[in-house]
Amino acid sequence: MWRHADESRKRFPPIEYQSQQTPKHYGITSPISLAQPKEADLVLTQKLIETLRPFGVFEEELELQRRILVLGKLNTLVQVWIREVSEVKNIPSSVIDNVGGKIFTFGSYRLGVHTKGADIDALCVAPRHVERSDFFSSFYEKLKEQEEVKDLRAVEEAFVPVIKLSFDGIEIDILFARLALQTIPENLDLRDDGLLKNLDIRCIRSLNGCRVTDEILHLVPNIENFRLTLRAIKLWAKRHNIYSNILGFLGGVSWAMLVARTCQLYPNAVASTLVHKFFLVFSKWEWPNPVLLKQPEDCNLNLPVWDPRVTPSDRYHLMPIITPAYPQQNSTYNVSTSTRAIMVEEFKRGLAITDEILLNKAEWSKLFEAPNFFQKYKHYIVLLASAQTEKQHLEWVGLVESKIRILVGNLEKNEFITLAHVNPQSFPGPKEEIDKEEFSTIWVIGVVFKKMEGPENLNVDLTFDIQSFTDTVYRQAITSKMFEADMKITAMHVKRKQLQQLLPKVAIQRSKRKHSSDGLRAMNDGSLDLSVDSDNSMSVPSPTGPSAAKIARASSPQGHIYFVILSFDGIGHGLKIFIISYLIMLIIAEDGTKPDNVGTSSSNAAQKGAAPLKRPGSPVLHDSEKKPKVDSVQQTPHLSPCLSAGPANKRPASPLGNETSKKVEEVRQRSHITSNADLSDVPILPTNPIPVVKNSIKLRLSR
């Protein structure tokens, strides 16, 4: 019922707990505790509600009524449309009078935990004579005629086909399911497994969201306690950057199932206790043991279900959380080694904080304090997706984001990387050319390198890790015929301080620890600040190409070696100027040479093998002497795998097929831009006889 979620969800009154027994057994095991809440638990729950309010997790009553009104209009529209289709198809009038048709909701709205401004997930259920093609043709046209409808778009070829729209300012995603019924009764219960008979797979997928949501609500002892707890956990997960199914963390339905399992284990507990028990249970959960809300049932419909005894691939799922509705699926198949480790660590931190809260040593606000992702790691990989128009950019960003988990998986497999943490929040990227229209989005991945045992330097090549990711993205873009020549992916390595040059000022929080130089200033109005601490030799953004500059500098044999390799193909004039100016600033900062002497001193150093150039001492260097240090880097936005300069390195086999490889090669040619920047206003570049290693990210780690 589309009204059900809102009518049952009211403003939270002052908590007055009435003792209630739990006669029904919930879940696949007995409860851990049937203890009734104490007065202190009720007080803490009220404090939790007050803490949540400023975060906008509760919607105002006026907005709530507006959603109900919009869904009512949409439901009426569906019923009118189905009647019209029925008449066109010569359905008997006696059937048309009762043909029905209905809008169901699912997701956070159906669960009753949606936030202010959140979209609504809806399902249009139609009788058997209404085809999917009718939904994407005549119903689409009917929506287009409504003056309240804006931003209407159909995604018919998606895994779960959908129509997206804004109805009176409320974002709605509408799926379609055609049931094998002559009419759709008003009291239809989608949890009935018999409804799945004789349905095509797309209809089964569309129905799955509603069926899972309804099952969850039927499997918790107390819906209001469940909802308040889920609101708190979802807010906590978002604040701690671990809320995203597509990037390998958990999505809304997975968090809901974990909270529901906690409610089953503590059926009489109120929200304050349930939040604490949530962290207790899942910080100690022995993954990959699955989380189940009910025993799986076999309906003999021959649909694929999650079962590691039958399906070998299911045995490799790291954090299985199984949906309660048939066909049972693992909602967390995207979880990787890194994302699971990150989430388990956050569970443990959450447990420590809620322990303090229950002992009145901390307030609830501490649980929702957002950690500074951009201070958490020393090394980051920045991924930038750009396109010429806003429409192309939206499509391109959606595709790239859906594949980032592949990049994380590739990085995890690298023997020198222990963890890769992608921030679910994306940011607008910098423009390459101020006077050129371009739309770009940035994602940031924190990387932890393994600690090295020996004293020797270690060369880490991330080329193929990046390359196989970009190949996959370009291949799908070409196959789906969405690719345009100006769609680009750029990957670059940066250290902690350099992030401020790439991200908006609001994205970077000032570190509590003050640096003597105060680090780098954030981007402002598209300009990049050049006040760089030379200890953090920046990995410069540098799309590859034939026209390139390279600087090689060395210190004493006991010191560190580092390289900055860059090339200019496919890069805007403004960014070229910045890169060149930045390199000159680096040289001046290190050896005190004047700008007009840069070309001579650097070229001599490169040609002669160079007298050692010592780097000035730095507190950052001394603090991290025992940690891996990244010394050289180059990144690629292109497709061809990298060949390093050494003869021992072999070209990796392309994961693309022959036909697609030819198309990809055409993309490379179309994307190729020869560097012809006017550098008359920039000091002369240092000459460089060393050949450029193209299309790669190469790092040198030293003790």
Judged by DSSP in three states, 475 sits in helix
DSSP H stretches of helix in 529-609: 573-591, 598-608
Rounded distance between C-alpha atoms, residue 297 and residue 309, angstroms: 15
Q: What tokens appear for 530 in the block? A: 């050049």
Rounded distance between C-alpha atoms, residue 70 and residue 299, angstroms: 36
Rounded distance between C-alpha atoms, residue 128 and residue 87, angstroms: 14
Is 119 considered catalytic here? yes
Nearest alpha-carbon partner for 576 in 694, 460, 675, 428? 675
185 touches 1 (CB < 8 A): no
Judged by DSSP in three states, 534 sits in helix
Residue 527 DSSP symbol: B
Judged by DSSP in three states, 177 sits in strand
How remote is the C-alpha of 149 from its chain's centroid? 28
Task: Spot the catalytic one: 168, 173, 193, 355.
Answer: 173
Nearest alpha-carbon partner for 32 in 205, 277, 324, 257? 277
Task: Spot the catalytic one: 119, 168, 355, 461.
Answer: 119
Is 234 considered catalytic here? yes
Task: Spot the catalytic one: 121, 214, 533, 631.
Answer: 121
Torsion, Cα of 135, 139, 141, 146 (10° steps): -150
Task: Spot the catalytic one: 26, 41, 86, 108.
Answer: 108
Rounded distance between C-alpha atoms, residue 382 and residue 318, angstroms: 26
State the DSSP H helix or E strand holding residue 572, giving kind and residue range, or none if neither.
Answer: none
Provide φ and ψ at 549, rounded to 5°: -130, 150
Per-residue burial over 579-591, b = 16 or more CB atoms within 10 Å of its CB, e = otherwise: bbbbbbbbbbbbb
Task: Label the pairing between strands 379-387 and 321-322.
Answer: unpaired
Is 173 considered catalytic here? yes
Residue 701: how many CA atoms within 13 Å on its side-chain side?
22
> What one-letter code names the amino acid at 352?
A
Task: Spot the catalytic one: 41, 86, 102, 243.
Answer: 243
β-pair partners for 630: 701
Is 650 considered catalytic here? no
Torsion, Cα of 336, 341, 343, 349 (10° steps): 180
Task: Spot the catalytic one: 234, 277, 495, 629.
Answer: 234
Residue 292 DSSP symbol: E
How remote is the C-alpha of 468 from its chain's centroid? 19
Catalytic residues: 108, 119, 121, 173, 234, 243
